[in-house]
Amino acid sequence: MRELLLIRHGETEWSRDGRHTSYSDLALTERGEREAEALRPWLAERDIAEVLVSPMARAARTAELAGLKNPETLDDLHEWDYGGYEGITTAEIRRERPGWFLFEDGVAPGPPGHPGESPAQVGERADRVLASIGPRLGEDGGDIVLVAHAHFLRVLTARRLGLPPSAGALFRLDTGTVSRIGTEHGRPALVAWNGRVGAGGR
């Protein structure tokens, strides 16, 4: 049975520094490019049927360096719109909002075109992605790969496992990693999580 492979893009300057990055289209750092390239040998051994990629350049570049062929851009794979928290760290936000927690509290409104998203809104986007690929996940054949962003993929994982969007908080996801969701007894189940496959990982 095919698996759903989740790849977080390689490191950028802001991801390295803990800055929330959604609509800012930053390039990969040299380390980020190496992280993406490290995925190539492992992915080359997988039977991959479909590759869906976020519209952001950092995701597309990760897919390219990882050797993924014929990627299709899917707008719904973009990162959580952080609104007014774009480029700001959690520590900085908590100076104004003590105890702030993204997966429960959402974000402040941002500039025109970026009002920010609530956890429920991100969950709705994740549900649309899953609905679009869900029928194919139940078939035999090659894996489906999603190349996207940490917070969005964490929410998507929660939704795939039947959990609320806020449960994405349980799934830490580092840059340049691959995770696998398969099935057990006909139900979605984690197979592997947050692995660096090119550096002694699985």
Cα–Cα dist 58/14, whole Å:
12
* Tokens linked to 64: 């390219």
Mind telling me the catalytic residues?
Answer: 9, 79
What does the alpha-carbon distance between residue 160 and residue 180 come to, in Å, rounded to a whole number? Answer: 12
Rounded-to-integer distance, Cα 24 and Cα 147, Å: 17
Burial class for 161, CB neighbours closer than 10 Å (0-12, 13-18, 19+): middle
> 167-171 long-range CB contacts below 8 Å, 24 or more apart?
167/103, 168/103, 168/119, 169/101, 169/102, 169/103
